[in-house]
Amino acid sequence: MRKALGLATIFLTTMLAGCVGGESTEVPPPASAAPAVFDEGTGAIQGVVVDDSLAPIANALVGIHGLQEFASSSDQGGAFSFSNVPPGTHTLLAQQIGFEAAAKQVEVPAGAVTTVELVLSPLPSQTPYHQTVDQRGLFGCGSSWRPSLGVPGVLTVGGIAACGATNIVLNDTNHDNFLLLWETNGNDTGSWDAAVFEMEWTSNQALGNGLAVYWEVDGCSNNRTARFALERGDSPLRARLGDVELEERLLNITTHGCDSDDCEEGCDFCNEEKCNLQSRVFSDPDTLGSASAADIGVTFQQTYHQHFTEFYHEEGPEDFTALADA
């Protein structure tokens, strides 16, 4: 918004110099556009300033580039006019706060009126806001394990969604939906100031309450460089990416792609900082506690609910949650 105000100031200074006097920079009040006047040696311009939907824009500043004496403002119907304009090719300029400036080249013949339409596009809103989308999933069946060997948390966790084939191959989400896809609808992930990923569930398990969830770039399963968040434990689970984390994790992936040949094709669409996301749910290997040889988790027919919140023009509160009972 500061940039838009700066452009407006430059425009005012340039176009209205010589029209408002040296002691004041006040913009003259808009007046109704009078019929354009011309003679055999001059031309005239009549026009209207509108937005993208062709609705009139009142009080827009309009001028002819290089001719400081020709400066005016549109009336309540968006109309403006200039009389006795020197014939030739001229560039019309228009500016209104909240809109992008516009320029249009016109040919002004002597002894005639040239009609012009100037279209101003609204500037993107800078008002902070956030939006939340949610999905429900079902972990059909599966287990996870982590060899102990006296080195907790060091060795790689293994896991399987045994019922996952019904989800991926058969597209059967009634019996398993451990993988959820999140379409960003073409939104530029580079415009996010923060993102919050949350999952909640009411456990119906006899062998432990925990789950593990991976949040990653769509099409890049089992590639660690495509993973921007991993949480495990009891409900609820939450991951938050602020502006710095977005730059370091998600945008680095979506801008440069993954570092695996298996993932490269799936990440082809992750250019210009745009990407769809996915989440995968597994058992938590801590749910049964430490065994002599491994930490093991077993889960069967567990429903869950995920929330994905994007923040624009501000990072939002650190403790933000979309969970109803939080």
| Beta carbons of 314 and 193 less than 8 angstroms apart | yes
CA atoms of 237 and 41, how far apart (whole Å):
77
Average pLDDT of adjacent 10-residue blocks, the chain of 326 residues: 36 38 33 74 93 91 91 91 94 91 94 94 84 93 72 60 79 85 66 91 89 85 79 93 79 55 48 70 74 72 95 91 83
For residue 51, the model assigns a pLDDT of 92
Instruction: Tell me the C-alpha to C-alpha distance, in Å, between residue 103 and each of 53, 62, 90, 121, 166.
Output: 18, 10, 10, 12, 58
User: How many Cβ atoms from other residues are within 10 Å of residue 62's Cβ?
Assistant: 28
Strand partners, 197: 239, 308
In the structure encoding, which two tokens stand for residue 70, read together? Answer: 């020709």
Largest alpha-carbon pair distance within the chain? Answer: 102
For residue 254, the model assigns a pLDDT of 53
Classify burial at 92, counting beta carbons within 10 Å of its beta carbon; exposed 0-12, middle 13-18, buried 19 or more: buried
CA atoms of 299 and 143, how far apart (whole Å):
6
| 54 residue type, one letter | L
For residue 289, the model assigns a pLDDT of 55
Contacts of 263 (CB under 8 A, 6+ apart): 219, 220, 223, 225, 226, 257
| 27 residue type, one letter | V
Strand partners, 130: 311
| Beta carbons of 25 and 10 less than 8 angstroms apart | no
**Domains of the chain by residue range:** 2-120, 129-312
Closest CA to 156 of 301, 62, 294: 294
Overall pTM > 0.85: no
| Beta carbons of 281 and 304 less than 8 angstroms apart | yes
The alpha helices in the chain, defined as continuous H runs, are: 2-16, 164-168, 243-245, 251-256, 261-264
For residue 157, the model assigns a pLDDT of 64
SS3 181: strand
For residue 263, the model assigns a pLDDT of 52
For residue 179, the model assigns a pLDDT of 92
Name the CATH superfamily housing domain 2-120. Carboxypeptidase-like, regulatory domain (2.60.40.1120)
